[in-house]
Chains A and B, each alone.
Chain A
Amino acid sequence: MEYLIHYSTIFFLFLGCFFILSGSVGLIKLPDVFSRIHAAGLIDTLGTGFIILSLIIHSGFSLLSLKLLLIPLFILFTSPISGHAISLFAHESGYKPKAKLKK
């Protein structure tokens, strides 16, 4: 059981780190504000979720794990709000998406 806890902690921690790293690389590589919001959303949901999951598995069931669970729960509410607000204000101040639709 200890081995299972240890190795699942390692696995989920590095999965979250992989998602955060790929999100920040996408923040550099993607061409536009509206597509960079996608990469920031990857950091906010999957990276945070997997890292906090690994910390919960590592800490065991206590009050601390409840406090840890509050972090992705709050991010789940606030990340779409800030993403939508950024895209709305960018669109209102005149920036258009660079990608063109196929006809």
Chain B
Amino acid sequence: MIFFIALTILGLSILFCIYRAVKGPTPFDRILSISSIGTIMALGIAIHGFAFNRPDFVDIALMYILLNFLGTIAILKFYKMKGKKKV
């Protein structure tokens, strides 16, 4: 029961991050909020595994965090190349 309340709070904070990702004026705002959405999602996967008594989901959460970091760096590299071409 505790875990479901925690998952609700995490979903609410994901909604706030989605607001910033849609509205954010610069592309770096969007990248930052997508990165924090990924972190919150990994925590949600781990809590979900404990809520349904299947703790194997922790491996998926670990892999999700690794992919999240790689995706952030890759999109940043793409935006930097785009800015260089413009100047």
Instruction: Name A's B-contacting residues (CB within 8 A).
Output: 9-10, 13-14, 16-17, 20-21, 23-25, 27-28, 33, 36-37, 40, 43-44, 47-48, 51-52, 55, 58-59, 64, 67-68, 70-71, 74-75, 78, 81-82, 85-86, 89-90, 92-95
Contacts and interface: CB of A to CB of B under 8 A. Distances in A.
A17 B14 CA distance: 12
SS class, residues of chain B in contact with chain A = helix
B20 A47 contact: no
Given A48-B39, A75-B65, A40 B83 contact: no
B11 to A, nearest CB: 11
Contact of A28 (B19, B31, B46): B19
Contacts, number: 124
Interface in B1-41: 2-3, 6, 9-10, 12-14, 16-17, 19-20, 26, 28-29, 31-33, 35-36, 39-40
Q: How large is the interface on B (under 10, 10 to 19, 20 to 34, 35 or more residues)?
A: 35 or more
A36 B32 contact: yes
Contacts of A10: 2
A90 to B, nearest CB: 4
Given A43-B40, A55-B46, A90-B28, A82 B35 contact: yes
Given A43-B36, A74-B62, A92 B46 contact: no
Contacts of A67: 58-59, 62
A68 to B, nearest CB: 6
Given A33-B26, A78-B69, 20 more contacts: A13-B3, A24-B14, A24-B40, A36-B33, A43-B40, A48-B39, A51-B6, A55-B46, A68-B46, A68-B58, A71-B65, A78-B65, A81-B69, A82-B76, A85-B73, A86-B28, A86-B31, A89-B28, A95-B26, A95-B28
